[in-house]
Structure 1
């Protein structure tokens, strides 16, 4: 076997490289100098390794596989997909096999089987070495990319112009503060919970990336974080932003709340702060998943800004604390647009019970939701209570 290969090794290597370029689309696009250089050299090395394997009847050694690992790392750096790389190795093995045994007959069965075992050993060793080297290089590259991305986000959020020197920034960014629900497979008692969380984030980033021509940058964990979508030209309208957040939720497989603002690079810190504040208001008021902007929660946002009046506003409803049903009914009544029947359905009680509870709440607080001025005070009081409750330590 080794004599059959050694006699025409260089010629066979060139034929194999030509086959790669003809049958594997990615190799067809590689520069000619790379095909005639690196690819031809590593192909010749593989053929010599197969010759030695047949001569000595053994699997390839680690030293023999080292050039393959180096070649795989270079292909990873060049962005050659792993499947194209493996396709070349498998095509090469197939052509070598055809070359060696094209004239084999029934009397060669034992030799063919022995050679097949060696070829399978070669294929397994090569596949393992190439995949490991390729993926190790990609992990290093990904770590570097993530570090650079994190540094860019950190500098943008800090307004650090010195750190951004030399970094190509987009003309504008869509700054999205997100809150993410937990995936069904993400629970602490689930064996693959951490993996499910990382997969969720990967799908979320990919969904945002589909709306951007350049790299989306983010700072995210399993509960949410900031996503900065680079914009060119006019950028998306609000309906498109809403669709973007909805699509991200579908891709991630979890509820997604997103508060968004547009900003030039210099305004990213202020936009991020505002988006996070809007998101906090949205979550505090129990709004459903979706996209929000400041105009969607203007009143709630203003009412939840710290002031001396907040404690006083919240205290307007203190007389109801002894009867939680009254406070719950009043809140539901406002949330349903003063619809007593919908309130009754929401609370699973009779409409007459709603009427009784509302009359009781009016008698205790002196605030009647049927009076426009007092309705505003009730809404403000509920907003203040939500804000103060959200500010309390978790242990209380």
Structure 2
């Protein structure tokens, strides 16, 4: 019996001995046994340095055992000050990159091993005390795991915040061409500069759309990271942005990047791709963004694009009086949208009148009639190679100068 406040509390006993005294007497020996169990049954602990197992891990295990003994004695859960060493230890494990699941596995394995060791010699008359001791161990584990998880996650959040700040600073310095800001950074020899546009995932239009957008963004980053040997440097929001992929060896296949990103996003993804050494990243990023704009303006399908893929369209987007003049070549067709639509479909199908008719859901004779009318109004005949080039350029210019 002992006093707790103004009441008398009976000590828990096993085989006639107080449980807390049984545990206190074997703390050093039991702690070493538990640590051996961690190394044998938890793969991550098996890879830890011996000095860490014999040092920090054994020390915090001994503290836990003494704290459990005190909880047995006082019949109350530990207070915040008692758990301070557990929080400090969890923060150190977070700094070392030990996964939280491995840390919690050690606590639960330790609790199980303590119970097995303590209750091995229990007698039939100890049943009530064994049940009470198990209840107390569970209460202790609630307090301990809450403290460990909170400290671990707070430390990881702090570390990630620092990493993200450094990453954002590196991206800003590379994109801004700020060599002074890169003084303490070792850039990659080359970067694959990706301008990214992402369509909306269906879940973004429902409740929790903002969360769905962030999840889509995370999946895109993860998909791109799988194709890179070093951490990618993103500057993205839910609609797209820029990603810098450090290159040490061969350049990943851009088409595979686009497919992987689209599959991960569950939405269409367009990539414009340029490759550049660090000092040329700002120019490469500007070019990639311009190419991506061209791709979207001209309704190219999702995928990966380089400047060579959109040379004509890119040139048409440069400021020039010729662009408006080219678009004006088809102005005579504006009063009859069917003519313009038929001419466009005719070019898209490779001058195949039957496929054009199928595409427009009309008879081939109707296609022939509309094409003759378009030729008579514009003076441009798609059968003439010289006229065909002008018609294609005019259609591209009209797409550029028309409503987007």
**Same fold, TM-score > 0.5, yes or no:** yes
Whole-Å separation in 2 of the counterparts to 1:332 and 1:139: 55
**Of the candidates 24, 34, 48, which is equivalent to residue 16 of structure 1?**
34
Whole-Å separation in 2 of the counterparts to 1:48 and 1:336: 81
Task: After TM superposition, list the pairs within 5 Å mapping 1:1-396 onto structure 2.
Answer: 1-187=19-205, 190-236=206-252, 240-389=253-402
Contact persistence 1:304–1:383 (CA under 8 A): no
Residue 72 of structure 1 and its aligned partner are, at CA, apart by 1.1
Whole-Å separation in 1 of the counterparts to 2:269 and 2:180: 34
Deviation string for 1:231-272 (max 9, x for gaps)?
A: 113433xxx221122112112222111111111111111111
Deviation string for 1:122-154 (max 9, x for gaps)?
A: 222222221122112111211211111111111
> Which is worse superposed, 147-156 or 54-63?
54-63
Residue 109 of structure 1 and its aligned partner are, at CA, apart by 2.4
Contact persistence 1:278–1:294 (CA under 8 A): yes
State TM-score, norm by structure 1: 0.93
Deviation string for 1:6-31 (max 9, x for gaps)?
A: 11112211221122122212112222
Residue 359 of structure 1 and its aligned partner are, at CA, apart by 2.2
Residue 83 of structure 1 and its aligned partner are, at CA, apart by 0.9
Contact persistence 1:261–1:293 (CA under 8 A): yes
Whole-Å separation in 1 of the counterparts to 2:305 and 2:347: 21
Residue 342 of structure 1 and its aligned partner are, at CA, apart by 2.1
Residue 88 of structure 1 and its aligned partner are, at CA, apart by 0.7
> Which is worse superposed, 247-256 or 215-224?
247-256
Residue 326 of structure 1 and its aligned partner are, at CA, apart by 2.2
Sort the Cα spacing of 1:117 and 1:265 in 2 relative to 1 into closer, same or farther, 3 A: same
Equivalenced residue count is 386
**Coordinate RMSD, CA, aligned:** 1.6
State TM-score, norm by structure 2: 0.91
Contact persistence 1:278–1:293 (CA under 8 A): yes
Query: Which entry has the higher C-alpha Rg, 1 or 2?
Result: 2
- The residue matched to 1:249 in structure 2 has which SS? helix
Deviation string for 1:21-65 (max 9, x for gaps)?
A: 222121122222222222122111111221121112122222222
Whole-Å separation in 1 of the counterparts to 2:60 and 2:157: 23
What residue ranges of structure 2 are gaps of 5+ in the alignment? 1-18
What residue ranges of structure 1 are gaps of 5+ in the alignment? none
Whole-Å separation in 2 of the counterparts to 1:107 and 1:358: 102
Sort the Cα spacing of 1:64 and 1:324 in 2 relative to 1 into closer, same or farther, 3 A: farther
Residue 106 of structure 1 and its aligned partner are, at CA, apart by 3.6
Whole-Å separation in 2 of the counterparts to 1:116 and 1:343: 79
Contact persistence 1:367–1:374 (CA under 8 A): yes
Deviation string for 1:98-139 (max 9, x for gaps)?
A: 111112244332222222221222222222221122112111
Whole-Å separation in 1 of the counterparts to 2:108 and 2:137: 11
Whole-Å separation in 1 of the counterparts to 2:104 and 2:273: 43
